[in-house]
Chain A
């Protein structure tokens, strides 16, 4: 096990050759144990060697046919390589030993069924249709739309639909409940990240909130969705949460675009707007700025920057999956239900015409954007940018925090 951990550490630090050497030696010395084969398979899978990975997974499974983790990874690797028949066969050979394994196998079966019904080609077609749509906006166009809405004091809402939103767009009753367990597991997983518990998964009030969330999508001015490169990534990994989330977002949004609904952009638009210096320019354009985030010092930090007038700031509890990174905020309870009612009441108390609201509040943030736009304001879902501005790397993409310093605006350039 020490050798496996060493190999993992080497792999995670980018020393693929070093990790490979450790695992090759492990497989040579202990060919009867599954660990070396499995880890080498993962290494090969990530390196794009599908055939080699499948071979090593087969050796790992032969060494311990009852190992669930090996099974799951082997099935996902085969599915990610487009070999659904082999993946199903691999799964059919497995004999679950307890109810937990039965449930896990059932979810994998549902995932493979999902991949059959919604193959990568379909998701890619939808993603390309969205990208090629005349309603698709690039970063400069999104900035221009926001600026125009502010100048004309028109309501505007930009919301982004990522994995978490995808899990709640996915409908467990779809196709006669054929993917129910898979979808429920994905919902529970994201609820634990958001609120530290999955107790809300069946609560009527939270399910009713989903209806309100779905209503925000066609009502939004611009919706950020998955893009083709992300589709390839998720299908390549055969991610049981990533694939249904991104595909179901596309299945939900693509018809709206065709019907003349909201404009669209990528769900990474918040990062693009930051790197292009657009957020800084918009904030410094003289319009009052509102902020919803879980970072108590951030509003004052923005207010101290030249040209930014912070007119309102609302704090929400942090996503519990990131508490360790974000640190103590003094905010009591969870975002839902504890803070949600308070925030909504506060947003409903004013007319926000001409105010630029930056909203970093996850799934519930889409509802806040809707409330702000309903009161004449301009709401932009900035997501994890607020974390990065606060020096908190909550996502892998934010690892280089030096790229996210709040600085002076540069015309048409990077915000640094």
Chain B
């Protein structure tokens, strides 16, 4: 496994901070716009690991994104047939189809179908780490077309979330190396564990990454609640998430060769080690 040393991290920082003036402007514009709940004309991509992550992370503000691209990395159906059976579906394909239907319904509520682009990468749920090379290359193609990208933080909550955070950072690094446009990289919240307790709707504390906190208006809360209801197969999981403020921040530059700082890895250290090897293999030197 290759661990980026100090020099490698410095190189990474340099390439990502080459994020051009436009990316810096986009960071500020997007965060300010979300904070003020103003309509945003910038092209914004939301990269999520699973159908329903978008509702959890930014269901209250999605309606303000007037040029929204949704890149859905997994189909939400694990390869293990027991997962489909447990959710009441005869097989994985039926489960994946149901989850796609659910997100279509949820988006109808959240943005009234006003989506510029929606792309399903169709990786099986839980297997994003096995497909990172292809996912990163596709993200390079898709993210060059947007001004900003919002995705999961690296926080040890779910391995697909962490893989998504890696894939976006790696794609942006490659774009930076190509010397052209790099979208501003931002984050929405998912979940993690601190002090033995599950925490939702918050980022791991990072004083270097100031957050924008957006309380839900009654209308936004109503939309979000209605969208939660659309994810019919996930009712149990979604019960963990409330309708508190949504939080956003510029994405830090993560060192994916180390566990997320300040968090307990919920999926276990052994799984994280495997994930870390996948990150190393997919990192372009």
Which A positions have Cβ atoms within 8 angstroms of B?
288-289, 296-297, 299-301, 303-304, 308-315, 329-332, 339, 342, 345-346, 349-350
Contact = CB atoms under 8 A, between A and B. Distances in A.
Contact of B118 (A303, A304, A332, A342): A332
Given A309-B180, A342-B66, A349-B42, A299 B141 contact: yes
B118 A310 contact: no
Interface in B169-203: 175, 178-181
Given A296-B145, A300-B141, A346-B67, A310 B116 contact: no
Given A313-B144, A342-B67, A346-B43, A303 B180 contact: yes
Nearest to A314: B145
Given A342-B66, A346-B43, A303 B116 contact: no
A53 B142 CA distance: 53
Interface centre among B116, B119, B142, by most A CB within 10 Å? Answer: B116
B180 to A, nearest CB: 4
A395 B113 CA distance: 32
Nearest to B120: A330
Is chain B's binding surface mostly helix, strand, loop or mixed?
mixed
Contacts of B115: 332
Interface string B146-185: 0100000000000000000000000000010011110000
A20 B242 CA distance: 76
A383 to B, nearest CB: 20
B41 interface: yes
Contacts of B141: 296-297, 299-301
B235 interface: no
A303 B117 CA distance: 21
B145 A288 contact: no
B140 interface: yes
Given A296-B119, A299-B141, A332-B117, 5 more contacts: A303-B144, A304-B178, A309-B180, A330-B120, A332-B118
A311 B116 contact: no
A313 B117 contact: no
Q: How large is the interface on B (under 10, 10 to 19, 20 to 34, 35 or more residues)?
A: 20 to 34
B43 A314 contact: yes
A309 B144 contact: no
Nearest to B39: A345
A299 B175 CA distance: 11
Interface of B: 22, 41-43, 66-67, 69, 113, 115-120, 140-142, 144-145, 147, 175, 178-181
A310 B117 contact: no
Given A300-B141, A345-B41, A346-B43, A331 B117 contact: yes
Nearest to B70: A330
Contacts of B116: 315, 331-332, 339, 342
Contacts of B179: 309
A310 B43 contact: no
B243 to A, nearest CB: 28
A139 to B, nearest CB: 27
Nearest to A345: B41
B144 A346 contact: no
B102 to A, nearest CB: 18
Contacts of A342: 41, 43, 66-67, 116
A311 B179 CA distance: 9
Contacts of B117: 315, 329-332
A300 B140 contact: yes
B181 A349 contact: no
Contacts of A329: 117
Contacts of B69: 330
A225 to B, nearest CB: 32
B174 to A, nearest CB: 9
A349 B30 CA distance: 14
B180 A311 contact: yes
Contacts of A313: 144-145, 181
B180 A310 contact: yes
A349 B41 contact: yes
A310 B175 CA distance: 9
The residue in B42, B66, B145 that gathers the most chain A C-beta atoms within 10 A of its C-beta is B145
Nearest to B179: A309
A209 B22 CA distance: 30
Contacts of A288: 180
B22 A350 contact: yes
Given A314-B145, A339-B116, A346 B41 contact: yes
Nearest to B140: A300
Nearest to B143: A300
